[in-house]
Amino acid sequence: MNAPRGQQPASASKPHERRGSLLRTVRAVAWSLIGLRKGSEYQQDVEKLNPLHIIAVGLAAVFLLVIGLIGLVNWIV
């Protein structure tokens, strides 16, 4: 079955899937929280990692950081 004139077939217009591992996502978020990141690695992450996974891991990392700081303060006091 051919696509109508001027349009691409449905399979060609579908965006490519981003398949990044959980470890790679955690590493990318950790380096970003520290503030140290190479430009080339950033570009690779942009191409390979799913933005929703980055947001989820980022929120979990910030939550764990806050809980850790609260625990540290309670332990010191």
- pLDDT by residue (tens digit) across 24-51? 888 888 888 888 877 777 788 778 888 8
Q: Any idea where the domains of the chain sit in the sequence?
A: 20-76
User: Of how many residues is the chain composed?
Assistant: 77
Residue 32: left if φ>0, alpha if ψ -120 to 50, beta else—which one? alpha
- pLDDT by residue (tens digit) across 9-24? 554 444 555 566 888 8
pLDDT at 3 over 70: no
- Sequence-distant (≥ 6) Cβ neighbours of residue 10 within 8 angstroms: 3
